[in-house]
Amino acid sequence: MVKLTWYGHAAWLVEFERHTVIIDPFLKDNPKSPVKPSDLKKIDFVVVTHTHSDHIGDAYEISKEKGAKLVSLYENIIEADKSGVKEENIAAMNIGTQVDFGGIKIGFVQAVHSANCTGTVITADNVTIYHAGDTGLFGDMKLIGEMYRPKVALLPIGGYFTMGPKEAAMAARMIKPEIAIPMHYGTWPPIDSNPREFQEILKGEVKVPILSPGETFIV
C-alpha cells in the first residue's frame, strides 16, 4: 500500500511501507497547502524536481529538521550545506538511472521546462510513482512509461508554465499508468485549468482521481 497525499501545486507526500518521501515541498508560501513544514511527521527523503521557488520551497528546512536526505540534480543542491543541510544528507545526482537508497529507488528523468527541470521516478514496495515535474509535452514520455512502468503518474495540467489538460491527457496515453493524477493547477489565476477536462479526455482509458489539497489517495 502506498499513500499519496497532495498538498496542492506539485507538492506530494508519498508514504511507502518503510519510507516517506516529500516531493517538491512548496508548503509555507503555497496558498493551497493545508500543512506547514512543522506539521510534517517522519520524512526520509525530500525530492526536488527543480529550483523554482514553487518546487524547492521548504526543502532545506525539512531536510534539516527531519534529518531527511535531500535528493535532486547536482547543481540544484550542491551548496545546500551552506544553508545548514548536513553533507551526508545531500544526494546530488543527475538524470540517468534510479539509485537504490536501501529499499527505495529514486531516479530523475527528462522534463521540458526551464531551470534544469526534471521528472522523478520513485520505486518502493513494487510500486513506481512518476512525478513529471514542470513540463511541456514530449515524445519520450513514452520511453519513461516503457522503462519504469509507473503505476501512478502525477502530471501538471495548469497550462501557462506547463502542459494543459489536453497535453497532459496525451502524456498519460504515452506513459500508460494505471492512475494519472492532475497537479500544478488551481494555485493561482494563471493556472486555473479544469481537471474535469483532463479526466473527461481519458475516460475509459486511465483512472483519473481528482484530489483536493490535503486529500490522500491510496494505491
Residues engaged in binding Mn ion (CB under 5 A): 54, 134
Q: Are 76 and 52 in contact (CB under 8 A)?
A: no
- Rounded to a whole number of angstroms, the minimum distance from the CB of residue 183 to Mn ion is 10
- Rounded to a whole number of angstroms, the minimum distance from the CB of residue 167 to Mn ion is 15
Q: Are 145 and 176 in contact (CB under 8 A)?
A: yes
- Rounded to a whole number of angstroms, the minimum distance from the CB of residue 188 to Mn ion is 10
**Which 8-state DSSP code applies to residue 134?**
S
Which of 30/123 has CB closer to Mn ion?
Answer: 30
Which of 150/158 has CB closer to Mn ion?
Answer: 158
- Rounded to a whole number of angstroms, the minimum distance from the CB of residue 147 to Mn ion is 24
Give ∠ CA 190-195-199 in degrees, rounded to 5.
150
Give backbone dihedrals phi and psi of 54, rounded to 5 degrees, phi first: -80, 5
Which of 54/58 has CB closer to Mn ion?
Answer: 54
Distance CA 208, CA 61 (A): 32
Which of 60/185 has CB closer to Mn ion?
Answer: 185
Give backbone dihedrals phi and psi of 154, rounded to 5 degrees, phi first: -100, 115
Q: Are 176 and 169 in contact (CB under 8 A)?
A: no
